[in-house]
Amino acid sequence: MTMSTLIDAVTGPSAPAPAPPALRMRPRGLTAEAVLIRRSITHSLRDTEALLMAVLLPTLLMLLFTFVFGGALDPSGGYVDYVVPGIILLCAGFGASSTALYVARDMTTGIIDRFRTMPMRASAVLTGHVVASVLRNLFATGVVIGVALLVGFRPTATPAEWLAAVALIALYILAITSLFAAIGLAASSPDAANAYGFILLFLPYLSSAFVPVDTLPDWLAWFAEHQPITPVIEAIRSLLTGTLMGDAAWWAVGWCVLFVAIAAVWGGRLFRRRARRR
Amino acid sequence: MTIAIEAHGIAKRFRRVEVLRDLDLAVAAGSVFGLLGPNGAGKTTTIDIFTTLVRPDAGTAVVAGADVRRDPDGVRARISLTGQSAAVDQVLTGRENLVMLARLSGLGRRAGRARADELLERFDLADAAARPVSGYSGGMRRRLDLALSLVVPTRVIFLDEPTTGLDTRSRGELWRVVREVADAGATVFLTTQYLEEADRLADRIAVLDRGRIAAEGTASELKARVGGEVVQLLGPDDEVLAERSTDGTVHGLRAAVDEFDRTAASTADGARVAIRRPSLDDVFLAITSGPAEPARRADLIGSKG
């Protein structure tokens, strides 16, 4: 590396005198978002352990619940139809939890400072992680449904109902990913982010995901009935297998939108606050 | 002389800690400016304010013609920051890092790729371009970090302790690169704890102590402030037994030697006297409340007048 080549690196090739200094332009439209979504997707694809987990976990859970617990819970063999929505949400929650880790990692390394000292929306980094998580977990959902069909899942949904179910699942993934992203912003380190997020992963167990709510003790049944996961489960179950919908869909959409809003406001505040001090 | 960075009365406190108070600074365009100071003196906060990461509580700072408070995007369009922790994406390859940053700096796809290849070649990273950064050595990572700062040849480049944690060879390489960047016309503002680094690289040096500029000048101007030759009493293995700063006169040197004569150490086997030019170390110790042993500091300051 010689002096002249380095001068070229700074001013452009064959510039005898220093060229007028260039300006760093603001990326046009949603370019920053597109570039950083692509970055996060690349991260997901190169994280082989996480990718393997995204395929293995749904497969193993599906097999476990169908063949190990299924017989005891419903000897007639219909448990697989009952349990699919629960496993979808369980896997989506698990897959989304790494968002907290990715966000915390970006916030504690120098990369966020570099973006913040450029004329761009630094928050595009978060958009990138959230969108990548939604895509990643929709893929995991596809794996769940694929394995479920292989082990005897017989959905009755029309194409419109499929579409609605997938849209609701995507909305749920967006909601839980946003929460995890905010947790990643609140955490002081990537390890802490991992630990805080753990609590969210337990919620599906205390819902109608695996057993009907009325089989639970009264106090737990009340919680399971009114916690946000249950209406989401019930709505997906109704769309896919034709069980009673009731007002589950409204509650499901309402909860998810509320969580996205909370995460956006909370995360926005955290992001601005952390802007001032690492 | 054009001014690249101008700060007046900058103050910043975090909760109860007063990090900067009444900081004044002017940096000439096209120069390398070294900000020197012990840990916790406020070096990084100073850079954070100039690069719009942190808003000052009081005072004004104009960087490359834009006010950091009123026109932060104007500043951001004209600066690059290489922070203390390497701002590179570990998962992406070297080329992907550069292309990403080029795209985020407003370059088109094709222009971004061309610029990335150019920088990889010139920063000696072409062979490692397709490898994930996680496999890079510390020196390579720093070179990539600096290349990322040069994706757009901005007017002012900030380097926060650019060589911390690097081995001697990588440090030397980086010094050369920084020097060349400055020779190409950019203003370089760097902080460092290494006096040798400031001595070798910086056209002007400011010593930051407890949130204020305690001294400013060229390296030789600063050295002249400490006084003349330093007289040392060395042991048989060249270890420094005692040290006195002098005013450089015959009388001053003799007084220092006489002082050694009165100590028991001077009669030890193989003890001898040596004379050296004052170093930036002496300046640093004399000016700052840094991590020097109090006894030695007192010696230096006591013998100054």
What does the alpha-carbon distance between residue B120 and residue B99 come to, in Å, rounded to a whole number? 11
Q: Is A90 left (phi over 0), alpha (psi -120 to 50) or beta?
A: alpha
B80 in reach of chain A (CB within 8 A): yes
Q: Which of B177, B207, B223 is the last residue of a domain?
A: B223
Q: Which of B194, B223, B252 is the last residue of a domain?
A: B223
Q: Mutation target for B interface from A2, A5, A8, A23: give the one with most B CBs within 10 A.
A: A23
CA angle B82, B85, B88 (to 5 degrees): 70
What does the alpha-carbon distance between residue B182 and residue B31 come to, in Å, rounded to a whole number? 7
What does the alpha-carbon distance between residue B20 and residue B212 come to, in Å, rounded to a whole number? 6
In 3D space, the residue among A201, A92, A208 whose CA is nearest the CA of residue A141 turns out to be A92
A113 in reach of chain B (CB within 8 A): yes
Tell me: do B24 and B110 sit in the same domain. Answer: yes
User: Residue A261 belongs to what H/E stretch?
Assistant: helix A248-276
B87 in reach of chain A (CB within 8 A): yes
Tell me: do B193 and B94 sit in the same domain. Answer: yes
Tell me: do B8 and B58 sit in the same domain. Answer: yes
pLDDT by 10s per residue, chain A, length 278: 444 444 444 444 444 444 445 788 889 889 999 999 999 999 999 988 888 888 888 889 888 988 888 888 888 878 888 999 999 999 998 889 889 999 999 988 888 989 999 999 999 999 999 999 999 999 999 999 999 999 889 999 999 999 999 999 999 999 999 999 999 999 878 888 877 777 778 888 888 888 888 889 999 999 998 999 999 999 999 999 988 888 999 999 999 999 999 999 999 999 988 755 54
Sign of torsion, CA A5 A11 A16 A18?
A: negative
Tell me: do B68 and B159 sit in the same domain. Answer: yes
Tell me: do B160 and B272 sit in the same domain. Answer: no
- Chain A residues touching B150 at Cβ < 8 A: 9-10
Identity at A111, one-letter amino acid code: I
Tell me: do B232 and B165 sit in the same domain. Answer: no
Tell me: do B252 and B287 sit in the same domain. Answer: yes
What does the alpha-carbon distance between residue B104 and residue A37 come to, in Å, rounded to a whole number? 12
Tell me: do B113 and B252 sit in the same domain. Answer: no
The total number of structural domains in chain B stands at 2
In 3D space, the residue among A80, A89, A84 whose CA is nearest the CA of residue A227 turns out to be A89
Q: What is the pLDDT of residues B181-234, one digit of tens each?
A: 888 889 999 998 887 788 888 999 999 888 889 889 998 888 777 777 888 888
Q: Where are the domains of chain A?
A: 28-276
B122 in reach of chain A (CB within 8 A): yes
Tell me: do B40 and B118 sit in the same domain. Answer: yes
B170 in reach of chain A (CB within 8 A): no
State the smallest CA–CA distance between residue A123 and chain B in angstroms: 13
- Chain A residues touching B125 at Cβ < 8 A: none
In 3D space, the residue among B146, B30, B95 whose CA is nearest the CA of residue A9 turns out to be B146
Q: Which of B189, B223, B257 is the last residue of a domain?
A: B223
- Chain A residues touching B55 at Cβ < 8 A: 276
Tell me: do B123 and B173 sit in the same domain. Answer: yes
**CATH number of the domain residue B45 falls in:** 3.40.50.300
ipTM, 2 dp: 0.83
Please report which residue ranges of A74-228 form alpha helices under DSSP H: 79-108, 111-116, 124-150, 159-186, 190-197, 218-226
Tell me: do B158 and B67 sit in the same domain. Answer: yes
A41 in reach of chain B (CB within 8 A): no
Range of the domain at B235: 226-302
Give A 42-61 residues with CB within 8 A of chain B: 42-43, 46-47
- Chain A residues touching B89 at Cβ < 8 A: 39, 111
Q: Mutation target for B interface from A114, A120, A189: give the one with most B CBs within 10 A.
A: A114
A18 in reach of chain B (CB within 8 A): yes
